[in-house]
Amino acid sequence: MKKNMRILIAYDGSDCAEAALDDLAQAGLPETASAIVMSITEVWLPPPPVSSYEIVQQAMSVHVPADLKKVYVKGSLAVKEARALAERGAARVRSTFPHWKVQTEAIYGSPAWELVFKADKWKPDLIVVGSHGRSALGRFVLGSVSQRVVTEARCSVRIARGRVEEPGSPVRIVIGVDGSPASLAAVRAVAERNWPTQSQARVVVVDDPLQPTLVGELVPLVAESVDSNNQTDRARIQKFAEDAAKLIRSANLHATAVIEEGDPKHVLPKVAEKWGANSIFVGATGFSNRFERFVLGSVSAAVAARAHCSVEVVRTREKRQKPARKTNGN
């Protein structure tokens, strides 16, 4: 587990935001961490003051005309409510993680962009946001904020769809693996977490085997070649899954490896729902190689949108290279 993990939590007091806080207890997070609970209100124009006294007080605090809008907005009821929301969310986080260092921040602007901007500046390891809720057909959908953050953030993002469970209850995790560095980063993220006793992980590789064309079906050599390639690919992805499960087991977490056929963005949510998983972990990006047909990275956002459980899209930050030390004569 990474020391001094940083977690940025979006909270607006909605049902899905409350569910996201419930989900924190099932995310394998460390006992000690630094967190910011952030509430953002979309206030662009200042509301009219309710009295002439407020006009005088706000005008006295203005030093330059450019400050006028900021003074009105910061003093607005909406931002005050955001501060109260942030404090309420922080209190809930502290009750679940009493050893965390929890701060609050309440600002105005575009929620998605403010979260991404804050993440770029503070550099958290994880952003936690709630999903939008359910559609009319009963399916979970991503709101505009969640969708923007999961695609634009440079760190890992957890789209949380929490459910209330007893503290310390075993957790079930599905991990999508495609053999790419991004998917292996997702495996490592699971292995490094602090999961409750008897928690289980299921490493899933989704294979979409090649099918011969009509001409290929008529030519025995072509059909045999396609079948041979499929067998070779299946053996390789089986090894991917088994190696990933072995890494998970080394972290004292029970893990199994399975291979499914189909489209990852449909198969992974179905596997998770059927198994009753609490969350799905996937890498943010894949890479182009001979196994490109089952690369998960391009569909991570689709998995986040379709799943009935929480989805964590794992990104690894590039390590900053230290500048070369200057020597005499250079």
Highest-scoring range by mean pLDDT, 88-92, 195-199, 260-264, 294-298: 88-92
Mean pLDDT of the chain: 78
Delimit the domains of the chain by residue range: 1-164, 168-321
Specify the CATH superfamily of domain 1-164. Answer: HUPs (3.40.50.620)
Say if residues 82 and 40 touch (Cβ distance below 8 Å). yes
pLDDT tops 80 at residue 2: no
In the structure encoding, which two tokens stand for residue 96, read together?
Answer: 């679940």
Q: Is the pLDDT of residue 131 over 70?
A: yes
The model's confidence at residue 1, banded by pLDDT at 50, 70 and 90, is: low
Token representation of residue 249: 């087991």
Is the CB of residue 204 less than 8 Å from the CB of residue 232?
A: no
Q: Determine the length of the chain.
A: 330
Q: Which CATH number fits domain 168-321: 3.40.50.300, 3.40.50.150, 3.40.50.620, 3.30.420.40?
A: 3.40.50.620
Rounded to an integer, the average pLDDT of 161-179 is: 82
Q: Is this prediction's pTM over 0.85? A: no
Segment holding 173, helix H or strand E: strand 172-176
Report CA dihedral (148, 149, 153, 155) to the nearest 10 degrees.
-150
The H or E element that residue 119 is part of is helix 111-122
pLDDT value at residue 109: 83
Does the pLDDT of residue 290 top 70, yes or no?
no
Distance CA 172, CA 202 (A): 8
Q: Contact at 8 Å (CB) between 178 and 203?
A: no
Which amino acid is residue 80, in one-letter code?
A: K
- Say if CB 195 and CB 28 are below 8 A apart: yes
Nearest to 55 by CA among 75, 41, 26: 75
Distances from the Cα of 313 to the Cαs of 29, 38, 175, 304, in angstroms? 15, 20, 10, 8
* Identical fold, 1-164 and 168-321: yes
* Span 215-241, average pLDDT: 61
Question: Which amino acid belongs to residue 201?
Answer: A
- At 65-77, the pLDDT tens digits run 555 555 555 556 7
| Ordered DSSP codes for 226-291 | HHHHHHHHHHHHHHHHHHHHHHHHTTT-EEEEEEEES-HHHHHHHHHHHHT-SEEEEES----STT
